[in-house]
């Protein structure tokens, strides 16, 4: 089993910058309900998006990922994966969870990612600070799955 959480340094940096406006608002306006509400929203975003966890579970033959304490969790079966490869996201892929020209992007920091291509054509780009480790954990399972499919097709053609 492989599991790694990448901390969201980029998101924390943006939130730290925005929090300076909350402090300035409190200093200039006092206990203003709008400024306090904005500060609470920033704290909630920091909690929900503190990191991205990716888990490769060999026993269940699945890969899962989620933000923070389990927000926007997604799980894929190895049977449905066609290919995995290392990629580098561009600045336009951004951070967070979004759809791009390359498919779904899940990232919290940095540009290194693994692209997971599904049988139905859907693609996911999973940002990671351990690109090599995640790729190795996935490649062995996807390769095993491909080998099993190939051998079952060979058996069918032999009949």
**Residue 86 clears pLDDT 90, i.e. is over it:** yes
State how far the alpha carbon of 121 is from the alpha carbons of 30, 72, 73, 92, 124, in Å.
Answer: 53, 21, 20, 22, 10
Q: Which helix (H) or strand (E) holds 138?
A: helix 131-158
- Residue 132, classed as helix, strand or coil, is helix
127-137 mean pLDDT: 94
pLDDT at position 81: 94
Q: Which helix (H) or strand (E) holds 84?
A: strand 81-88
Does residue 114 contact residue 128 with C-beta atoms inside 8 Å?
yes
Does residue 53 contact residue 65 with C-beta atoms inside 8 Å?
yes
pLDDT at position 132: 95
91-101 mean pLDDT: 92
112-124 mean pLDDT: 96
pLDDT at position 144: 57
50-75 pLDDT, tens per residue? 999 999 998 889 999 999 999 999 99
Average model confidence (pLDDT) across the chain: 89
Does residue 100 contact residue 120 with C-beta atoms inside 8 Å?
no
The string of DSSP letters for 2-41 reads EEEEEE-HHHHHHHHHHHHHHHHHHHHHSS-HHHHHHHHH
d(CA 108, CA 97) in angstroms, rounded, equals 9
Q: pTM here?
A: 0.82
d(CA 109, CA 68) in angstroms, rounded, equals 13
129-154 mean pLDDT: 71
Q: Which helix (H) or strand (E) holds 100?
A: strand 96-100
């Amino acid at each position: 089993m492989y599991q790694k959480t990448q901390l969201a340094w980029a998101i924390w940096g943006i939130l730290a910058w925005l929090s300076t406006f909350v402090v300035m608002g409190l200093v200039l306006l006092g206990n203003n309900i709008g400024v306090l509400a904005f500060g609470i929203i920033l704290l909630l975003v920091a909690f929900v998006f503190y990191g991205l966890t990716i888990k490769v579970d060999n026993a269940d033959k699945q890969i899962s990922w989620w933000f923070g304490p389990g927000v926007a969790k997604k799980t894929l079966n190895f049977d449905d994966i066609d290919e995995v490869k290392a990629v580098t996201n561009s600045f336009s892929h951004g951070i967070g969870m979004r759809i791009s020209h390359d498919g779904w992007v899940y990232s919290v920091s940095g540009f290194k990612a693994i692209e997971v291509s599904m049988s139905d054509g859907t693609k996911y780009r999973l940002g990671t600070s351990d690109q090599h480790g995640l790729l190795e954990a996935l490649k062995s399972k996807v390769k095993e799955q491909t080998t099993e499919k190939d051998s079952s097709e060979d058996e069918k053609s032999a009949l």
